[in-house]
Amino acid sequence: MMQEGAGLSVAGGGWLASANYGGYLLGAASAMAMRVRSATAIRGGLVVIGIVTLGMSLEHRFAAWIALRALAGIGSAWVVIFASAWCLDLFMERKRSLSHALHDP
């Protein structure tokens, strides 16, 4: 759809994917240093993803898309890492192993 609607080339798509992956790496590294509650980081990450996705529909410059995809990658990393940490904390609180939680409701 982006190729047809925005004239995005395959190479351009590769650059956008690379920006997203680079942002994910930065987000993962920053998550290690963040001292926030998991719920706060998850909400923040989801807000970032939503805003930058909306921003891509409003912005038409490729350089801006690169920056927005990088920010989306950071938000995505926060959501995945902090959601995983939150789930593991819940399992520990309930003294359940991950495999037990998956097999026994």
The amino acid at residue 102 is L
Q: What is the CA radius of gyration of the chain?
A: 17
Average predicted confidence (pLDDT) for the chain: 87
Q: Which percentage of the chain shows pLDDT scores above 90?
A: 63
The amino acid at residue 72 is A
pLDDT tens, position by position, 21-35: 999 999 999 999 999
Distance CA 39, CA 43 (A): 6
CB atoms within 10 A of CB 90: 12
Distance CA 83, CA 59 (A): 30
pLDDT tens, position by position, 4-57: 666 788 888 889 999 999 999 999 999 999 999 999 999 999 999 999 999 998
Mean pLDDT throughout 91-99?
68
Residue 75: predicted pLDDT: 97
Lookup: tokens for 104: 């026994």
60 confidence band (pLDDT: 50, 70, 90): confident
Say which DSSP state 95 is in. Answer: T
pTM above 0.85, yes or no: no
Q: Tell me the domain boundaries of the chain.
A: 18-103
